[in-house]
């Protein structure tokens, strides 16, 4: 299981993913689920993946191979983010055509969910949610964020906070609290975390970090968020229905 979230604001984009893919009593595997495709000064694109690991890795690797093959249509040559999102959808369909029947024969469902966003020079930052069929939808001012994987536990804080004129740091803080809420309720989501904040028109990755169990800020954020929730809860009046 995994949890990934990305938010589009007027001032840029924030991406956050965990790295746990399989959790059990005696087995925990870690694979990073954030993939960055960058041509500094021209474009930055970020892909977050959830679902079947072999499928998502095939899609991410295929996109990178396309970029390395000069002359082939790729994320490096797409004229805009919409065209780039179509290339990602095509990559999903290509893997489906190759592997879906073989997976089905072993009782494995073809399952992948992707968040794809970034900016191509000359247009605004954009964010897309891409499905297993290769189709996609785009974030809007009314729906500025997407989640994939184990999304239900981290959604309430996003619905309450993401909006208005938030800085990228404030959006990142909200995403980290969303991740903490998910980790608290589901042991199949876990550290380390990949966090990337992309500032509009920078056209290069400047703010990316890996957060592990020794990270002092995230540890403090988790502790203080829990304390403040308990404090607010204790300050609320008890139900008066039976008085």
Domain count, the chain: 1
In a domain, 161, yes or no: yes
pLDDT of residue 216: 97
In a domain, 88, yes or no: yes
Give the other-Cβ count within 10 Å of 60's Cβ: 20
In a domain, 239, yes or no: no
* pLDDT tens readout for residues 142-201: 999 999 999 999 999 999 999 878 999 999 999 999 999 999 999 889 999 999 999 999
In a domain, 241, yes or no: no
pLDDT of residue 21: 65
Give the contacts of 106 (CB within 8 A, at least 6 positions apart): none
| Sign of the four-CA dihedral 178, 30, 215, 61 | negative
**Mean of pLDDT values over 125-140:** 98
Beta bridge partners of 13: 8, 198
In a domain, 121, yes or no: yes
Decide if pLDDT at 63 tops 90.
yes
pLDDT of residue 122: 97
In a domain, 242, yes or no: no
**Domain range for residue 164?**
3-234
Q: What is the mean pLDDT of the chain?
A: 94
Pairwise CA distance, residues 202 & 243, whole Å: 60
Does the pTM surpass 0.85? The reply is yes
In a domain, 125, yes or no: yes
CATH of residue 187's domain is: 3.60.20.10
SS3 of residue 50 by DSSP: strand
Pairwise CA distance, residues 202 & 169, whole Å: 16
In a domain, 66, yes or no: yes
């Amino acid at each position: 299981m995994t949890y990934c979230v990305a938010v589009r604001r007027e001032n840029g984009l924030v991406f956050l993913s965990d790295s746990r893919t399989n959790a059990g009593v005696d087995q925990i595997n870690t694979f990073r689920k954030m993939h960055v495709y960058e041509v500094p000064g021209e474009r930055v694109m970020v892909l977050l993946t959830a679902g079947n690991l072999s499928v998502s890795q095939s899609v991410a690797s295929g996109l990178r191979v396309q970029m390395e093959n000069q002359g082939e249509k790729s994320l490096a040559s797409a004229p805009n983010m919409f065209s780039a999102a179509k290339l990602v959808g095509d990559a999903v369909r290509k893997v489906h055509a190759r592997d879906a029947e073989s997976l089905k024969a072993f009782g494995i469902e073809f399952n992948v969910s992707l968040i794809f966003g970034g900016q191509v020079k000359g247009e605004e930052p954009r964010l897309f949610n891409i499905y297993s069929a290769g189709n996609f939808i785009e974030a809007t001012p009314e729906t500025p964020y997407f989640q994939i994987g184990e999304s239900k536990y981290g959604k309430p804080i996003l619905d309450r906070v993401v909006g208005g004129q938030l800085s990228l740091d404030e959006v990142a803080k909200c995403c980290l609290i969303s991740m903490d809420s998910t980790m608290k309720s589901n042991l199949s989501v876990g550290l380390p975390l990949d966090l990337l904040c992309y500032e509009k028109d920078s056209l290069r990755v400047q703010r990316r970090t890996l957060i592990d169990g020794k990270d002092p800020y995230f540890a403090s954020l988790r502790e203080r968020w829990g304390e403040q929730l308990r404090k607010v809860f204790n300050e609320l009046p008890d139900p008066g229905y039976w008085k």
